Structure 1
Amino acid sequence: MRKHIIFSVGLNLLCTLCFGQVVLQGRVSDAQSGEALPYVNIGLYHNGALVHGCVTDRQGKYSLEYSDAADSVLFGFVGYVASTFALSDIRSEKLNVALQPHAVALEAVEVSAKRQRYKRKDNPAVSLMKKVVEQKDQNSIKGFDYYEYSSHTKTEISLLGITDSTKDKGLFKNIQYVFDNLQTSPLSGKKYLPMYFSEQLKEHYYRKSPKSEKSILKAQKEVQISKFLDPESVENILNEIVSEVDLFDDKVHILSNDLVSPLSSAGVTLYHFYLSDTVVFDGKKCVKVLFNPANVRDIGFGGTLWISTEGDYSLVHSLLGVDKKSGLNFVKDLSIEQTYKPYNGKMVKTADKINAELNIYGLSLFVRKQNISSKHVFDAPQKENFYSGIDLTERLEGYNRRLPAYWEENRLEALTPSESLTYSNALRLNDYSAYKLLLNTLMAFTSGYVEVGKIDIGRLENFVSWNDVEGLRLRIGGKTNMNFNKHLFFEGFVAYGFKDHRLKFRTCAMYSFAEKRYNQWEFPKNLLSIKYEQNTKIHGQSLLMGEADRFFLSFNRGKTDKMSFDRLVRAEYEYETTSQLSLKTGVQYLQEQPLAGLKFISFDKSKVYNKISSPSFDIELRYAKGEKFFQQQQYRLTINTTAPIITLNYTYGTNLFGNDYEYHKIKASIEKRFYLWTFGYADIALQGGKIWGGVPFPLMFVHHANQNWAYQDEAFNLMNYYEFVSDSYAQMVLNYNFNGYIFNRIPLLKHLNWREVFAFKVLWGGVSDKNMPSEDNPALVDFPRNEQGCYSTFALGETPYIEANVGVDNIFKVLRVDYVRRFTHLDNPDIAKWGIRFRLRFTF
């Protein structure tokens, strides 16, 4: 997720915060043997209430921050007598603790006083968890044929580490009223200041067979951060960080990772379980089961499960966390608390609370999410057609414009005074000119636009660039915004190259049939556009986001002079459904004029083509079930999804308007992410296409190459621009991230939190005899040649193009470095057989 933390980074401009904490460190050992005790629970308490906690590492060592919010610290572990110390009596920042062992009987289970090596065989905790796993389908709410319920979700982001001195810093001098809303983190006891708050009301429906899940979003309300950042993107990012946890699933997606549930079939292998004491929780007799990852550096949960001992082995309550040594980036602390209630023989989750403390390059944040469920109805099906269709979430008309009276009547839980104050403070902040200037400055760097009345100037990253053909290229552009019109929009740019002395420009008019709140490209689109553009282009250049004249795309290896000057007229209509099924269709007239190293000359050299024209019609269907994304104006970055993304595209090239080429082009692709338990994840993308009809090489498939020094997942990073063309092809791209699985087991590397990456890419293709320039086809446009007269563009033939790379990710939590190797077509001129590539990547 390269941009998942854009919103968090934005808040970093508000202030740099620090909070003086006392760090208590030491070692916990067995009082009789002196052996270190790993995974001892350590809790800070204030007036008997837990405010923060941690566990010892495998050497029995711990490090714990505390403040005035705590008055005592407790050390507790299964089979040992707990020890409590008053913080006021501790005279040093180092505290070594020796716990006295004792025997604890749990019905038919005994925990011996002497700590032994963990064993799964004949382990009563493992036997118990196997029974829990066996019964989980019977105990899960998904055991019902039908169910429905209502939910109320509240999410809050706050600045963490507020002190008295903060009030006198920067912007805070003139907004003292925000400090009336200071709260205390239940994790660390630090003060936090809420800055963002949102809530949603939903209804959920489930059918077991055939399986169907559907949600209806009735109401949504949030604090507006910026006109350039739509709330849908903010919610998608927050759901990626603190998504809803269902322990009955084998895998739980949270903090941009898939963590193995302790209730999964693999749980007894990937976790260590220990029996604690028996308790009565909410009227049910339970046994407390403590657990932690078998390898502390693997990303996984740790915590306590309350398991019923009344014969059904149901989950009654859970308290989870993530070990600080697990390799997760930016996570200082995390707690997940869930409560279940019995309904008709099943255990139904009624409350879900997630608290997280993050530190992102000095910016401390407290993130809180609370989900309440009620009004459960079981085995009362709706009409059969209610479950049909592909919409995962249906948005009711006006869901984001509900009046206060509606919220007062329909909330499942009333707002706390702090939550209400967050809303009102946000409205006051938006009227504060210095605060607005700060946000606009931030958004200029993240969205690329600067708002000037009814016009947004940008994108900033395109203002200055250079290439082999144009030399230095300067560009200025902009678009109208919501202040101009909420349906009609204009966009364009003007650019000039100081080497080719040519003016480039684009003008575009767009009409949205749906009224927009933030920009014309926001989801879902219902957009008609017409544009005319004159611009330079490198065909086959892979551009996942943005345009080719971005500043950072100016740094390339080798020559990049095979460019064309394109004149394009295009009318396009794009329609999206809330189920992520989209349709895009258009008609265009494209005229390509070769520049510099690109020549359009017939094979027999008898004719030089000054341009190639191509009128065409195209239609594209795309389906991405459940896709979530972060939107930066017209560009979207998909947030992790495991559902396949399927795209189908058809183009018809006509011989009207004096064009010599009539053809049919079909292209299809499917991409999917696979999470592989603790072994990381793999992204697989399959793609293929075919052309029927006679076309010159510029109208063929020009395969995606990358001559930039930045690594690109979807491109061939050692292929030159215009190196390979095909009229039929198939390709596979595999990108695999081990998520540190190997490095975490190497003593000298496991503390670095580096992550191993690997990629394998293969391309099959060819050019049919009909389209291959040769003595049999002397009038066809010949493939380009280099300055020495050797071909620099090729058909693949029988040998596929293959490249692979291995690399290290998460260096300094942001840098990825890859060694890339090319294995085939090594005799082609001006190619690189290997290379080092870099990439900046922000992820948890």
Structure 2
Amino acid sequence: MNKLMKYSLEKFGLALLLLLTICSVRLSAQNTTIKGTITDAKQKAPMPFVNVFIPGTAIGTSTDMNGKFTLEFTGRYDSIHVASLGYKTFKVKINIGTEQTVNVRLESTSRMLGEVIVKGAKTARYRNKDNPAVELIRLVLDHRDSNRIEGLDYAQYNQYEKLQFALSSASDRERPNRLLRKYKFIMDNRDTTKVEGKSLLPIYLEENIADVYYRRNPEKKKTFVRGDKKVSFDESYIDNAGMSQYLNHIYQDFDIYDNNLMLFTNQFLSPISNAGPTFYKYFITDTLYTEDSTKLIELSFVPRNQTDLLLQGKLFITADGHYAVQRADMTGNKHTNLNWIRSFRIMQEFEKMPNGRYRTSKRTLMADMGMFTSGKGGIYGERTVSLRDFVANKPMPDDFYKGNPIVKADSADKTTDSFWVHYRHDTLTTAESKVYANIDSLQHTRSFRRTMDIATLLLAGYKGFGPIEVGPVNTFYSFNPVEGFRLRLGGRTTPKFNKSIYLESYGAYGFKDKKWKYYFGGTYSFTHRSIWEFPVRSLSANYQHDMQIPGQQLQFIQEDNFLLSFKRGNNDKWLYNDIYNVNYLHELVNHTSFKFGFKYWAQSPAGSLAYIKGQPVGGFPDSIQRVKTSEFSLEFRWAPHEQFYQGKQFRVPIPNKYPIFLLRGTAGVKGVFGSQYNYQNVTLNIYKMFYLSPIGYSEVVFEGGYTFGKVPFPLLSIHHANQTYAYQLESYNLMNFLEFVSDHYVSLNIDHHFNGFIFNKIPLLKRLKLREVAAGKILYGGLRDENRPENDPTLFKFPVDKNGILSTYTLGKKPYIEGSVGIANIFRLIRVDLVKRFTYLDHPDISSWGIRTRVRLDF
């Protein structure tokens, strides 16, 4: 499941980004560079941490300790703004496409206090000790729990969320590309008022209104969704629910009081975190009063190392003894190693409660995204979360929090325009209000549908024909040593056929073994919704007559994927299979699921693989042509706080900090449909992602298994090996197929992504935005004496190679160990690992070193 999770999420993310980029607007812009110094008009002193920006955009910078700044951008902007809290905003006219110097003197406002600004001298070394700014942030940390909603025993409020995306260009005077030029009704909806200097063409809008109830002890949250509205695309091309989940995954909600902020799938260390003083520099840059005479301290902060995944900006902290954040305004650093994100800005606003404390009233995340960093055409995204009608410490009965934590009203998807006018916290712009109808009209145009047909075929690998789809195209042709040249054609039904019934089939033919292979399968949904829509209650049955490599049940890709045809070393041990499967899946709203199953499996060795018993009969080895088993299975899965991207034919959990537990038990029963063996197997798999901001994150997989009973080696645990040139997370990349078998084992895989923590400090590598990765895999296992073929002649002998040398082994006292170091983010997509095998180097035909690659979309 974890392989499926990573592969599918990466594939969907890449497809979505490319799909949106297809529709981006072409620009012909010029590079402009502005340099200068900002000083206080009265004191004539340079001013650090002053914002220099183009209003309404994410383009901006801040002055350094000497008041100097440099701002580079591409676009037709004719002015910049210079602003600092307590000073009058200064507008500067500039010349487009030139390099110029601008020096500005800021005048203080009438609300400015005559207090001394504390800032370090030019040559003074920054220190945490005896630093009033650091002492202030420590006071904020001490009062953190009491200044957030989670610090209350009970809380309830009305929450409005808005997520929007728009194609952006430098101005409305730029000509659209050929794809969009024919859709005049879409192009007429461009918005030039929302973001100054930008022409935005809305393409996606999602709104949600809900009542939220929170209890601290025991912690529970109940959300009642009253309205849910989003742009809807034709399901033949785009899975709307999946796209919504993925976009919300990229634009996750945040809270400045959390130790870490998840932004664009990367974790940024919050300036209000226990480790903040270690990684940030803090400066008291101003003191001021609000309109209600509340005294605020302006605390500016910057990263100690600008290349780390850290933020910079300002916090406005109350000086009333509560040390609460009244407002936060933060941006990323242009030197941070981020993909696709040119610039971003996050803001969090707080509202004073009757008890004098503050609670969140609004959170906003804005970002300018694009394939390239030049600023030419791209995607503007914005997520806003607004809270109002706040009620503190009003208890609700315990039964109130039971059941599904999110309850959606039956009428939530059928709300009227008058409903949104009344309950929406913010008024939509004219362009935003038209996006629902415009996208609906766009999908009915013949040229757009033709374009989407081509995009779906290229990105998803399927071609739709009404209620069915044909594909995937990457399996149409493949090859292997047993079948030789292999052709395959398959298809599946879509929700247009029937939402409750899903059918899938394929046929294949090998030109070397001259045999047909085929598959038929179907699933019925008892919820009368899509078989992938949570929570699922479904019954599935399928039959497969095909080939596979022993022990290589690759869950996230087809075995006959063309790219997997290229393998290193010998790859001539295969199986012919006849497999019947019946499974019942039942999911609960707390993300616990149960699966009951029955599997009949008849397997026959193919290629150089042979099943030979150790005891000769009549002077000749006893060769077994077919092994039959019938097994019953029970699977328990628990994924607390799980979120997932839900596609049309799969569902992919979105990684978060919570673990995923999978416990599976199987029992083979002799005599059922000719089954030849009695055995039992128990497997436990635990997946956990550890975020170690700012040094990246680790994906950790622990697995253990035990097989009870006496069985031949094909029914033991055949450890996942990889003889392809693709890097696989949960396979052993330098282990040969069928090299190791066990009846008991434990394994630990760790894959760590440093996110450029090291490379960002090396000038050349920093410009290339390369990222370092490291992995380690260890496998302990063994075989009980009763399952060793040398101890029991009725068991199958372990396979040998063409020279008669043993090619399958059991693990001894030492574990199998391999590790790798690699470079990721090559061309923003490719990862290359140098893999080293450390143990069992005396086995024949193994590789002790290897280079493996992987394609992965990261932000």
Q: Structure 2 length as normaliser, TM-score?
A: 0.91
2:787 aligned counterpart, secondary structure = coil
CA drift of 1:407 comes to 4.2
Q: Is the 8 A contact 1:155 1:199 kept in 2?
A: yes
Q: Does 2:324 match 1:324?
A: no
Match of 2:393 in 1: 379
Distance in 1 separating the partners of 2:177 and 2:54: 30
Distance in 2 separating the partners of 1:116 and 1:95: 30
Match of 1:10 in 2: 19
CA drift of 1:65 comes to 2.3
1:95 aligned counterpart, secondary structure = strand
Match of 1:127 in 2: 135
Q: Does 2:562 match 1:551?
A: yes
Q: Does 2:99 match 1:94?
A: yes
Q: Does 2:143 match 1:171?
A: no
Match of 1:765 among 760, 781, 791: 781
Q: Does 2:798 match 1:783?
A: yes
CA drift of 1:616 comes to 1.0
Unaligned runs of 5+ in 1: none
Match of 1:360 in 2: 371
Match of 1:453 in 2: 466
Q: Is the 8 A contact 1:569 1:588 kept in 2?
A: yes
1:722 aligned counterpart, secondary structure = coil
Match of 1:797 in 2: 812
The amino acid that maps onto 1:417 is T
CA drift of 1:692 comes to 1.1
CA drift of 1:69 comes to 5.1
The amino acid that maps onto 2:100 is L
Q: Is the 8 A contact 1:26 1:61 kept in 2?
A: yes
Larger mean CA deviation between 624-633 and 258-267 belongs to: 624-633
CA drift of 1:54 comes to 1.9
Match of 2:526 among 513, 529, 551: 513
CA drift of 1:186 comes to 6.0
CA RMSD of the aligned region, Å?
3.0
Distance in 2 separating the partners of 1:609 and 1:643: 47
The amino acid that maps onto 2:400 is F
User: Residues 636 and 554 of structure 1: is their aligned pair in 2 closer, same or farther, counting only changes over 3 Å?
Assistant: farther
The amino acid that maps onto 1:234 is M
CA drift of 1:215 comes to 2.9
Match runs of 1:464-479 below 5 Å: 464-479=477-492
Q: Does 2:755 match 1:755?
A: no
Match of 1:626 among 625, 638, 641: 641
2:188 aligned counterpart, secondary structure = helix
Larger mean CA deviation between 15-24 and 101-110 belongs to: 101-110
User: Residues 30 and 77 of structure 1: is their aligned pair in 2 closer, same or farther, counting only changes over 3 Å?
Assistant: farther
Distance in 2 separating the partners of 1:710 and 1:37: 53
Distance in 1 separating the partners of 2:96 and 2:830: 42
Match of 2:317 among 304, 307, 313: 307
The amino acid that maps onto 2:853 is F
Match of 1:806 in 2: 821
CA drift of 1:665 comes to 0.9
Distance in 1 separating the partners of 2:756 and 2:176: 43
Match of 1:245 among 215, 237, 254: 254
Distance in 2 separating the partners of 1:629 and 1:433: 33
Q: Is the 8 A contact 1:303 1:319 kept in 2?
A: yes
CA drift of 1:351 comes to 1.3
CA drift of 1:158 comes to 0.9
CA drift of 1:14 comes to 2.3
CA drift of 1:712 comes to 1.1
User: Residues 543 and 27 of structure 1: is their aligned pair in 2 closer, same or farther, counting only changes over 3 Å?
Assistant: farther
Distance in 2 separating the partners of 1:796 and 1:434: 60
Unaligned runs of 5+ in 2: 1-8
Distance in 2 separating the partners of 1:631 and 1:374: 31
Q: Is the 8 A contact 2:318 2:326 kept in 1?
A: yes
Distance in 2 separating the partners of 1:607 and 1:58: 84
User: Residues 335 and 281 of structure 1: is their aligned pair in 2 closer, same or farther, counting only changes over 3 Å?
Assistant: farther
Deviation per CA, 1:20-56, whole angstroms, max 9, x where unpaired?
244124465999xx999986632235xxx88842236
Match of 2:4 in 1: none
Match of 1:214 in 2: 222
User: Residues 609 and 400 of structure 1: is their aligned pair in 2 closer, same or farther, counting only changes over 3 Å?
Assistant: farther
The amino acid that maps onto 2:380 is F
Match runs of 1:215-364 below 5 Å: 215-227=223-235, 228-281=237-290, 283=292, 284-343=294-353, 344-361=355-372, 364=378
CA drift of 1:63 comes to 3.4
User: Residues 461 and 215 of structure 1: is their aligned pair in 2 closer, same or farther, counting only changes over 3 Å?
Assistant: farther
Distance in 2 separating the partners of 1:65 and 1:514: 53
Match of 2:762 among 732, 735, 746: 746
1:608 aligned counterpart, secondary structure = strand
User: Residues 376 and 510 of structure 1: is their aligned pair in 2 closer, same or farther, counting only changes over 3 Å?
Assistant: same
Match of 2:188 in 1: 180
The amino acid that maps onto 2:592 is L
User: Residues 591 and 474 of structure 1: is their aligned pair in 2 closer, same or farther, counting only changes over 3 Å?
Assistant: same
Deviation per CA, 1:256-280, whole angstroms, max 9, x where unpaired?
1111111111112211122222233
Distance in 2 separating the partners of 1:174 and 1:811: 36
Alignment size in residue pairs? 833
Match of 1:528 in 2: 539
Match of 1:734 in 2: 750
2:614 aligned counterpart, secondary structure = coil
Distance in 2 separating the partners of 1:653 and 1:231: 41
CA drift of 1:115 comes to 6.3
Distance in 2 separating the partners of 1:16 and 1:341: 39
Q: Is the 8 A contact 1:101 1:114 kept in 2?
A: no
CA drift of 1:162 comes to 6.2
Q: Does 2:677 match 1:661?
A: yes
User: Residues 767 and 314 of structure 1: is their aligned pair in 2 closer, same or farther, counting only changes over 3 Å?
Assistant: same
The amino acid that maps onto 1:612 is V
CA drift of 1:580 comes to 2.5
User: Residues 61 and 350 of structure 1: is their aligned pair in 2 closer, same or farther, counting only changes over 3 Å?
Assistant: closer
CA drift of 1:438 comes to 1.6
Distance in 1 separating the partners of 2:673 and 2:277: 69
The amino acid that maps onto 1:276 is T
The amino acid that maps onto 1:93 is T
Match of 2:202 in 1: 194
Match of 2:853 in 1: 838
CA drift of 1:409 comes to 5.0
Distance in 2 separating the partners of 1:186 and 1:163: 12
1:216 aligned counterpart, secondary structure = strand
Distance in 1 separating the partners of 2:737 and 2:688: 27
Match runs of 1:818-833 below 5 Å: 818-833=833-848
2:773 aligned counterpart, secondary structure = strand
CA drift of 1:174 comes to 2.8
1:677 aligned counterpart, secondary structure = coil
Distance in 1 separating the partners of 2:787 and 2:833: 37
Q: Is the 8 A contact 1:324 1:331 kept in 2?
A: no
The amino acid that maps onto 2:93 is L
Q: Is the 8 A contact 1:472 1:498 kept in 2?
A: yes
Q: Structure 1 length as normaliser, TM-score?
A: 0.92
Percent of residue pairs identical: 33
CA drift of 1:373 comes to 1.1
Larger mean CA deviation between 792-801 and 442-451 belongs to: 442-451
Match runs of 1:99-110 below 5 Å: 107=115, 110=118
Larger mean CA deviation between 816-825 and 303-312 belongs to: 303-312
Larger mean CA deviation between 200-209 and 519-528 belongs to: 519-528
Distance in 2 separating the partners of 1:36 and 1:720: 65
1:438 aligned counterpart, secondary structure = helix
Distance in 1 separating the partners of 2:707 and 2:408: 40
Distance in 2 separating the partners of 1:780 and 1:508: 34
CA drift of 1:404 comes to 4.6
Match of 1:146 among 154, 160, 174: 154
Distance in 2 separating the partners of 1:435 and 1:256: 31
Match of 1:674 in 2: 690
User: Residues 801 and 397 of structure 1: is their aligned pair in 2 closer, same or farther, counting only changes over 3 Å?
Assistant: farther
CA drift of 1:809 comes to 1.2
Larger mean CA deviation between 377-386 and 704-713 belongs to: 377-386
